[in-house]
Structure 1
Amino acid sequence: MDKPAAEREALLTEARLSRGPAGALIKYHDVPGLAREKRQMREFNQVDLAHTVMLAEQGILTRNVAKVILQALIELRGMEPAAFPIDPLKGSFLLQVEAYLFSRIGEDIGGQMHTGRSRIDQGTSVRRLYERNRILDVLERLTQFRGALIEKAAKHSRAIMPGYTHMQQAQPWVFGHYLLSIAARLAEDFERLTQTYARVNLNPLGAVGLAGTSWPLDRDRTTELLGFGAVLENSKLGREAFYAADAIASLSFIMATLNDLSTDLHLWSSTEFGFVESDDAYCGTSSIFPQKKNPDGLETVKKAAGGSVTWLATALATFRAEGTGDQAMRDLPLLDDAIETTDGMLELLTGIVSTLVVHEDRMRKALDGSWCTASNLADVIVRKTGLSFRQTHHVVARLVRICVQENVNPSAITVELLNRAAQETVGKTIAIDEPTLRDALDPEVFVRTRVTVGSVSPTEVDRMLAVARSSLADSGAWLAAERARLDQAATKLDAAVYSIIST
């Protein structure tokens, strides 16, 4: 027979509900939620400490009551999450913590910690702290990956290769230039995620359930002690989690960049291209084909990026009924999964890129017999003859057609062939000598003669390397400053706690 309520610990739900939770509700709602919240135990403790300190400083709690609560919370802070006792019947993690405190200091004292707050603003504060910290980890990982890309780009800053559009050779390219284009996208991804970070790092504590409270809470103080960037002002917004969709969108951009890089490297590592090769440590083999070396690491990134395409749509679909204020709308477990996936794929791809084998000789050889300098020949003819680019485009296009049909390699082109093409298209000959014609079709000359900002010329590649390194240094400085600021907030919180405990 169950004990009377007076003889056992009362559950929060018993005062209002006539029956305990169904087994299925516990299994599919309570247990998954508790598992997720248990990972945020450190942040739960921070919020409890800061809120209790603020209540004491505002005179809402007596110093003696606050001292007892804070001592119990410090004891709890030293406990490993795995060792913390969980009883799903007690409800969410906030109530689990309360039950722990009640067992140590009694409900008459422990129950005062919840003064002036709701599970709503307490929970969203915890989640914002946890997600803020994990976003910082992703930013750290992103910085490391950008560093690996930049160093690989520097090593291959003169590696000439074919550049492609529509999967057809278009113009000579440089592998280092390609890697710097990815690094530039990642720099934008970093900036986008820091902007998201600022919107996540707002303090909802004190918004309470919906409309604020009559207790004289100092929301600026908890903002300071928890390292939030600012107070989330409108109390209605304290219960909403659209910031999670914002974060997921930023993470999706990162995954899109990783997918593009992985797809290119995957293609270029095929036997037909042979431009790059993943280190053996990031490859697998076949159970039937002895010769195969499968780029499993790159395929893993591409697979993870496929799922990321739906992250934002799923988040917005989850929030579709936010206007009702439903409990389910205020949390987005998908964000934790997205953070974990992005962080993991950044780590994996950093290793792949750092150890990537680049076959520069194979890249250069792919330009032998290539027509990818044809656009340069057209430019040279324009400068030499005064014909319009459209006219020279016709001439060079006909030249290529003639040579392909007659199996003439670009290196064997003569002025006579060029003039034959010119007569067939524009009805005149072109005054150009053989050395000029040869240089116009030389990939090495092509790369050296690019003059525009951002081009593949050696001077521009070197300049962009310097820009990328400077941007990376700025990102590292921002990260270091933000982590230092959070450390200072943690130090202030500890000082405030021990000031009360030592009274």
Structure 2
Amino acid sequence: MTAQTMQNEMLLTEARLSAPASQRLVKYHDIPALEHERRQFHEFVAVDRAHTAMIVETGIIGRDVGRSILTQLQRLKTLRPEDFSTDVTKGSFLLQVESFLFDAIGEDFAGQMHTGRSRIDQGATVRRLYDRNRMLDVMDRMNELQAALARQAARHSRTIMPGYTHMQHAQPWVFGHYLLSFSARLHDSFARLTEAYARVNRNPLGAVGLAGTSWPLNRARTTELLGFDTVLENSKLGREAWYAAETIGALSFVMADLNDLATDLHVWSSIEFGLVESDDSYSGTSSIFPQKKNPTALETIKKAAGGAVTWLSTALATFRAEGTGDQAMRDLPLIHSALETTEGMLDLFTGVMDTLIVHEDRMASRLSGSWATASNLADVIVRESGLSFRQVHHIVARLVRNCLRADIRPDQVTGALLDDASFETAGVRLDFSDAMVRDALDARRFVETRVTVGSVAPSEVERMLARAVADADGDRQWVVNARTRLLDAERALDSAVAAIVG
């Protein structure tokens, strides 16, 4: 275009509004919105290429026009987002690209690219492309953490430790079994994200503003070229961002998983517990207390997880006032910060887990003198005596009370002490040998004698470890397959453009 033509280029707002945007509106709306869209630069270009290729193929615009547009879009495809020059007075990113094309090939050609679409469905399509790509990044990080958990669980499949309820010793536990519980939770969270991804990966392009269009668009073709799984059928739904709220909900589950694991490890790394320790590279220190080694990475994860509690409620509150309205329903920027936070904390936790120091001797020693095996003694008495579990519960509870008062450890309990407790509560004597009582109260024997599916029995921990590895492999393959489909779509789009450009 000539300089004179550029001077005469009409801004979108000039045709309808009698005054330019105020400096305040520019500062607080236009500039932030434009910079937000700049991060989606490559997705904008992909949507423009796919739409243009489709309307050329369907004969909506001429091949010569399409060739001119696509040649310039190919130029844009090679740029970095920061290298694309913008002018905030020209409006949103769609209009920035249009201005670029006007400058290169003239408005009579470039202006035809927007035939059969609205900024609404175009923007919605861009956001879905961007969000699905970022979801796959998050899922990659989930798979990496799953692998780190499995590696630690394999190392500690026989590492016994106290198991806690109400922060009190409940039963003997196995650290590898504990870690596998979080592997299972993350696998469930991964499944939630795949379900959300399926609803994200629907094509709104062609819904136009609200009610569709009279132009004979081939929505199936743009679905293919952009790697969507299906068309988002109802044209009214093309503008809505409910999928973002669902995705945020799934991400908040991931952050809850991380919070619970980080909280346990944080508590267990205190001097009073001393069961685990963060590597120095994931720790901090104090400016005043020379002895301090702070679990900084774990604290960072917990802090980030705190904000995640409100993600879904904030999203739903944002939509609440709109009904079937407009602006808030069309976009939910919160999803981008949620994706970024979740990806970052998954990555950080992977480093923590890979380098975690586990004090196995300390874990075992904490069971020395612990009454965590009392429930096993109760089970043994039920099997041998025929008494009901409730009767036996009273007997063992009295035994524990008597021994604590007399400062007697579990490995010092005798059959006579058990008989005293049973006579006090049930009026019977059990006549158990000392060896029988002490065997029932042994922590390692407790672990070895578990028989139920999913228990801490060595064979079950090994089975669940194999299952966790298989699940993680399946999750990794899911992401590989999803990325492969997107790569195939990108190649199809390149071929469609090449067939027009020549």
Which interval holds the TM-score relative to the shorter structure? over 0.9
Q: Counterpart amino acid of 1:499?
A: A
Aligned to 1:370: 370
CA distance in 2, matches of 1:464, 1:418: 37
Aligned to 1:173: 173
Please show how residues 137-176 of structure 1 align to structure 2 within 5 Å: 137-176=137-176
Aligned to 1:355: 355
Aligned to 2:208: 208
User: Once the 2 structures are TM-superposed, how far is the Cα of residue 166 of structure 1 from its aligned partner?
Assistant: 0.3
Q: Counterpart amino acid of 2:202?
A: L
Aligned to 1:182: 182
Aligned to 1:470: 470
Please show how residues 7-406 of structure 1 align to structure 2 within 5 Å: 7-406=7-406
DSSP 3-state at the match of 1:322: coil
User: Once the 2 structures are TM-superposed, how far is the Cα of residue 483 of structure 1 from its aligned partner?
Assistant: 0.8
Give the aligned length: 500
Quick check: 1:385–1:431 contact (8 Å CA) kept in 2?
A: no
Quick check: 2:414–2:433 contact (8 Å CA) kept in 1?
A: no
User: Once the 2 structures are TM-superposed, how far is the Cα of residue 482 of structure 1 from its aligned partner?
Assistant: 1.1
Moved over 6 A (4+): 3-6
List per-residue Cα deviations over 1:394-432 (Å, max 9, x = no partner): 000000000111111111111111111111100010131
DSSP 3-state at the match of 2:170: strand
Q: Counterpart amino acid of 1:229?
A: D
User: Once the 2 structures are TM-superposed, how far is the Cα of residue 6 of structure 1 from its aligned partner?
Assistant: 9.0
CA distance in 2, matches of 1:322, 1:136: 30
Q: Counterpart amino acid of 2:25?
A: L
Q: Counterpart amino acid of 1:11?
A: L
User: Once the 2 structures are TM-superposed, how far is the Cα of residue 321 of structure 1 from its aligned partner?
Assistant: 2.9
CA distance in 1, matches of 2:374, 2:471: 35
Please show how residues 429-468 of structure 1 align to structure 2 within 5 Å: 429-468=429-468
Quick check: 1:369–1:410 contact (8 Å CA) kept in 2?
A: yes
Q: Counterpart amino acid of 1:259?
A: N
1:258/1:6 Cα in 2 relative to 1: closer, same or farther (>3 Å)?
closer
DSSP 3-state at the match of 2:171: strand
Most deviating of 404-413 and 222-231: 404-413
Quick check: 2:283–2:295 contact (8 Å CA) kept in 1?
A: yes
Structure 1: any 5+ residue segments left out of the alignment?
none
CA distance in 2, matches of 1:238, 1:415: 74
User: Once the 2 structures are TM-superposed, how far is the Cα of residue 331 of structure 1 from its aligned partner?
Assistant: 0.7
Q: Counterpart amino acid of 1:63?
A: R
Percent identity between the aligned chains? Answer: 64
Q: Counterpart amino acid of 1:382?
A: V
CA distance in 1, matches of 2:411, 2:324: 72
Quick check: 1:53–1:66 contact (8 Å CA) kept in 2?
A: yes
DSSP 3-state at the match of 1:323: coil
List per-residue Cα deviations over 1:277-305 (Å, max 9, x = no partner): 10100000000110110000000000000
Aligned to 1:407: 407
Structure 2: any 5+ residue segments left out of the alignment?
none
DSSP 3-state at the match of 2:196: helix
TM-score (normalised: structure 1):
0.98
CA distance in 1, matches of 2:266, 2:352: 11
CA distance in 1, matches of 2:53, 2:182: 47
User: Once the 2 structures are TM-superposed, how far is the Cα of residue 8 of structure 1 from its aligned partner?
Assistant: 2.6
Q: Counterpart amino acid of 1:338?
A: A
CA distance in 2, matches of 1:374, 1:280: 38
Q: Counterpart amino acid of 1:79?
A: L
Q: Counterpart amino acid of 2:293?
A: K
DSSP 3-state at the match of 1:266: helix
DSSP 3-state at the match of 2:173: strand
